[in-house]
Chain A
Amino acid sequence: MTVADPSQAVARAQVGAGDLFFGFLKVGISGFGGVMPFARRMLVEERGWLSEREFTEVLSLSQFLPGPNIINVSIIVGKRFRGPLGALIASVGLMLMPFLIVLAIAALYGRFATLDAVRGGTAAVSSAATGLIIAMGLKMARPLAGSAWPLLIAALGFIALGLLRVPLLWALLVLAPLSVAIAWRTRR
Chain B
Amino acid sequence: MIPPVLIELVEQFGLLSFLAIGGVNALIPEIHRRVVDVYQWMSNAEFAQAFAISQASPGPNMLIVSVIGWKVYGFLGALVATLAICAPSSVLTFAIAHVWDRFRDAPLRAAIQRGLAPVTVGLVLASGYVLARTADETLPAYAITAATAALALITRVHPLWFLITAAALGAFGVA
Contact = CB atoms under 8 A, between A and B. Distances in A.
Contact of A131 (B111, B152, B169): B152
A130 B128 contact: yes
A140 interface: yes
Nearest to B29: A161
Contacts, number: 376
**A: contact size bracket:** 35 or more
B145 A128 contact: yes
B115 interface: yes
B3 interface: no
A75 interface: yes
A167 B115 contact: no
B80 interface: no
A64 to B, nearest CB: 6
A161 B22 CA distance: 14
Q: Please classify the interface of chain A as helix (H, G, I), strand (E, B), loop, or mixed, using the class held by over half of its residues.
A: helix
Nearest to B160: A32
A91 B86 contact: yes
A134 B152 CA distance: 9
A181 B145 contact: no
Interface in B99-129: 100-101, 104, 107-108, 110-129
Interface string B132-144: 1001100001101
17 contacts: A64-B113, A75-B97, A76-B97, A80-B97, A102-B66, A103-B66, A109-B53, A117-B170, A123-B175, A125-B163, A128-B145, A128-B165, A131-B146, A135-B153, A175-B119, A175-B122, A182-B115
Interface of A: 1-3, 28-35, 57, 60-72, 75-76, 79-80, 84, 87, 91, 94-95, 97-99, 101-103, 105-106, 109, 113, 116-118, 120-141, 143-144, 149-151, 153-158, 160-163, 165, 167-169, 172, 175-176, 179-184, 187
